[in-house]
Amino acid sequence: MTLEERATLVGFPSEVPTAAEQRTLVGFMAEFEEHEQLLQAARNAFTAGYRRMDGFSPFPIEELAEALGHDYSPVPLITLLGGIAGGLGGYFMEWYSMARLYPINVGGRPHNSWPNFIPVVFELTVLIASLSAFTAMLVLNRLPHLHHPVFNVPQFQRASIDRFFLYIEAADPKFEQKGTWKFLEGLQPLSVAEVWDE
């Protein structure tokens, strides 16, 4: 089907938005049935030079992030720092309160009885580390993110069930309506949709 025919069907691409519409086009989205297809599509898009894009899947796909050219997650580093802080903080708390603030003779044990202090140090290490991991996850994922343009796409509700989407943002330097649309179609998706933000 030619581009013109499609235009008569879905009214697209409309060269100039009419004054009534305040919507802005934020990108195109292609729908796939299997995660391998999505993966392949992502690789192609990357080689095609697209950078500002994202993939959506109902379950994690290990290679996808890499295929989309996303860099490594900083979560582990943050967790490590959190853990160290927790451990040191914990020991400081124990040492300060037991040996400095108000040293008391407890059962003839030394004020700084480090062997007895270990368990709490360990627990605090784990606690703070886990909290920072979780927080990092939220912040890096910009969660909570209740409102998002992609939710406007009707098909997208299956993104959490059994569909896989490739999303190319309009902000991408290489984005160009006709070209990108053609490119996405070229990947034999189930469908291609435009993502509007009103």
Partner 1 sequence: MKEAAQVEQVKHTKPAPALDLAAIRARLNGERGQHYWRSLEEIAETKEFQEMLHREFPAGASEWWDGLSRRNFLKMAAATLALSGLTACTKQPTREIYPYVKQPAGLVLGEPLYYASSMLLGGFATGVLAKSREGHPIKVDGNPEHPSSLGGSSVWMQTSILDLYDPDRSQTVTHWGEISTWALFLSDLNDLLLEQAARKGAGLRFLTETVTSPTLAAQLHDLLKRFPGATWHQYDPITRDNVREGARLAFGEFVETRYRFDKAAVILALDADFLYTHPERLRFTRHFADGRRVAAGKKEMNRLYLVESTPSVTGTMAEHRLPLASSEIETFAWEVVRAMGGPVRMANEQPLSKLQTKDGSPWIRKEAVAQWLAALVRDLKQHEGASIVIAGEWQPPVVHALAHWLNQALGNAGKTVDYLEPTEAHPINQLQSLRELVQDMESETVDTLFILGGNPVYTAPADLQFGQHLAKVKRSIHLGLAQDETAGSSTWHIPQTHYLESWGDARSFDGTVSLMQPLIAPLYGGKSAYELLGAMVQQQPIRGDYEIVRDFWRGQNFWPDFEISWRQALHDGFIQGSGAPPKQVKLKADLLESLPRGGEPASGGITVEPAVGSQSAKQETAFPQVSPRSFKVLSGDIEVNFRPDPNLWDGRFANNGWLQECPKPVSKLCWDNAILISPALAQSGNLTTGDVVELSLGGRSLRGPVWVMPGQAPNAVTLHLGYGRSRVGRVGAGVGFDAYALRTSAALWFERGGKIVPTGQTHLLVTTQAHHQLGSPDREVYRSGTLNQYLANSSFVKSSVEIPNMDETLYYPDEYQYAGYKWGMSIDLTTCIGCNACLVACEAENNIPVVGKDQVHRNREMFWIRVDTYFKGPLDNPEFDHMPVPCMQCEHAPCELVCPVEATVHDSEGLNLQVYQRCVGTRFCSNNCPYKVRRFNFLRYSPYDKPWREPMYNPEVTVRWRGVMEKCTYCIQRISAARITAEKENRRIRESELRTACQQACPAEAIVFGDLNDPDSKVARLKAHPLDYSMLGQLNTRPRTTYLAKLQNPGPQTDQGLGGA
Partner 2 sequence: MAQIFGKSSTSFARASLVGGVSGFFGFWGLVYLIYWSPYTTNQYVPREQEVPFSHEHHVAGLGLDCRYCHTSVEKSSFAGIPPTETCMTCHSRVWTDAPMLAPERQSLATSQPLHWKRVNDLPDFVFFNHSIHIQKGIGCSTCHGPVNQMPLTWKAHSLYMRWCLDCHEAPEKQMRPKDQIYNMEWQPPPDQAERGAQLLKDYHVSQQRLTQLRDCSMCHR
Partner 3 sequence: METIQGSEPQMLVQGQPYPVTPLGYPAEMIGAQETYERVSDQITDEPLHHPHQKLWLAGFTVAFLMLIMFGVAVGYLLWRGVGIWGIKIPVAWGFAIVNFVWWIGIGHAGTFISAILLLLLQKWRTTINRFTEAMTLFAVMCAGIFPLLHLGRPWIFYFLLPYPDTMALWPQFRSPLVWDIFAVSTYFTVSLLFWYMGVVPDLATVRDKARTKWKRILYGLGSLGWRGSARHWQHHQSAYLLLGGLATPLVLSVHSVVSFDFSVAQLPGWHSTIFPPYFVAGAIYSGFAMVLNLMIPIRRIYGLQNLITTRTLNNMACVTLATCWMVAYGYIMEAFMAWYSGDVFEQAMMRDRAFGPYGWVFWLLMTVNVIIPQLLWSRWVRTHDIALFFVALSANIGMWLERFVIVVQSLHHDFVPSSWAMYYPTVWDWATLFGSIGLFLTLQFLFIRYIPMISISESRELIAQRKEGRL
Q: ω before 119 within 30° of 0 (cis)?
A: no
Q: Which residues contact 160 (CB under 8 A, 6 or more apart)?
A: 58
Say how far apart CA 6 and CA 77 lie, in whole Å: 49
Q: From residue 23, give the alpha-carbon distance in Å to each of 27, 80, 84, 123, 194.
A: 12, 44, 48, 51, 12
9 binds, among partner 3, partner 2, partner 1, none (CB under 5 to 8 A by kind): none
153 binds, among partner 1, partner 2, partner 3, none (CB under 5 to 8 A by kind): partner 2
Residue 171 interacts with partner 3 (CB under 8 A)? no
Task: With beta carbons less than 8 A apart as the criterion, state whether 190 and 32 touch.
Answer: yes
Written as one letter, the residue type at 190 is: L
Q: From residue 14, give the alpha-carbon distance in Å to each of 6, 21, 131, 174.
A: 11, 12, 49, 20
Residue 143 interacts with partner 3 (CB under 8 A)? yes
Residue 76 interacts with partner 3 (CB under 8 A)? yes
Q: Which stretch binds partner 1 (CB under 8 A): 47-55, 104-112, 122-130, 152-160?
A: 104-112
| Interface positions with partner 3 (CB under 8 A) | 34-35, 42, 54-62, 64-65, 68, 70, 73, 75-76, 79, 83, 93-94, 97-98, 101-102, 106-107, 109, 113, 116-117, 119-120, 122-124, 126-127, 129-131, 133-134, 136-138, 140-141, 143-148, 150-151, 157-162, 167
| Interface positions with partner 1 (CB under 8 A) | 104-111, 113, 115
